[in-house]
Amino acid sequence: MDERGPLCVGVDPHAALLSSWGLADDIAGLERFTYTVVEALAETVAVFKPQAAFFERFGSRGVAVLERAVADLRAAGGLVVMDAKRGDIGSTMGAYAEAFLRKDSPLFSDALTVSPYLGYGSLKPAVDLARESGAGLFVLALTSNPEGAEVQRAVREDGRTVGATMLAHLAAENAGETPMGSFGAVVGATLGDLSAFDLDINGPLLAPGIGAQGATAADLPAVFGAAVRNVVPNVSRGVLKEGPDAAALRAAADRFADEVRTAIGG
């Protein structure tokens, strides 16, 4: 991010976006969309976040497009955060981890989003494999959707909220790592003042919500406070809506990255 700019661009080929590009909602449209984004941005944007569901809905051919996109993005020097939000227990969680975090997997990514709401300990197979592979996780902690609060802000018997508990687990995973650990939290940029939560987890904070969801780069310091320099701001539709013109995609990504730099003083 220091080299390429403080921005994560989502790769979300949903039907409405394909249509706005003049593409059919089929495998040909998916391929055209995905490879246009890759060719336009792979060598200039720091982080990419493909949403696995938008590829999986096309079956094996859609997953093949995702595999190629992941390989091409990483080959061009970008980091890939696979937004699959996997969460399960035991061997099933282990199998999910192998799909995205095993080095010889065709979907191997630099990080994976995971859901801890079967208990943080259920993520252990993913934590262990991420460490072994030199990859990372982004754990859902304080998400930008309004429904998330009913679980994440619920108060436990010890007086801490569930979301605060997840942040504390991540801080423990990252303890002693320099310059920071690889176990991050998903924390929505739309949530306003989060000073009640300790966001100093010595790890990255993936921040969806900038652009179409209503947050702006200028909101980041107020939301994240002293942890703002560890934020990975994600923009999806705000950039992707500029396609299929490659120059327009690059210009939009550059604009958002500049706005973040200005906001955080980078």
Q: Do 236 and 12 meet the contact criterion of CB atoms below 8 Å apart?
A: yes
Q: Which pLDDT belongs to residue 213?
A: 76
3 is a domain residue: no
Nearest to 159 by CA among 105, 196, 117: 196
pLDDT at 225: 96
Convert the pLDDT of each residue in 38-53 to its tens digit: 999 999 999 999 999 9
Q: Quick one: pLDDT at residue 251?
A: 98
Model confidence at 124: pLDDT above 90: yes
% of the chain surpassing 70 pLDDT: 99
Q: Which of 91-95, 143-147, 245-249 has the lowest mean pLDDT?
A: 143-147
As for how many domains the chain has, the answer is: 1
Contact, 187 vs 205, CB < 8 A? yes
CATH number at residue 124: 3.20.20.70
Reported as a single tens digit per residue, the pLDDT across 169-227 is: 999 999 999 999 999 999 999 999 999 999 999 999 999 988 777 889 999 999 999 99
- The active-site residue, picked from 85, 103, 124, 241, is 85
Averaged pLDDT for residues 66-83: 98
Mean pLDDT across 116-133:
98
Q: What's the mean pLDDT when you consider all of the chain? A: 97
Query: In this structure, is residue 2 part of a structural domain?
Result: no
The pLDDT score that the predictor gives to residue 265 is 82
Percent of the chain exceeding pLDDT 90 equals 97
Whether residue 1 lies inside any domain: the answer is no
Nearest partner of 230 among 257, 210, 205, judged by Cα: 205
Residue with tokens 């705000």: 238
Is residue 234 in a domain?
yes
Q: What is the extent of the structural domain holding 81? A: 8-264
> Position of tokens 């249509």?
19
Q: Which amino acid is at 24?
A: A
How far, in Å, CA of 240 to CA of 9, rounded? 8
225, part of any domain:
yes
Q: Given pLDDT bands bounded at 50, 70 and 90, which one contains residue 266?
A: low
**Is residue 244 reached through a cis peptide bond, with omega within 30 degrees of 0 on the bond before it?**
yes
88: pLDDT strictly greater than 70: yes
Angle (nearest 5°) at CA 257 between 53 and 13? 20
Tell me whether residue 49 is one of the annotated catalytic residues. no
Query: Residue 122's CB: how many other CB atoms inside 10 A?
Result: 18
**For position 6, what pLDDT does the model report?**
96
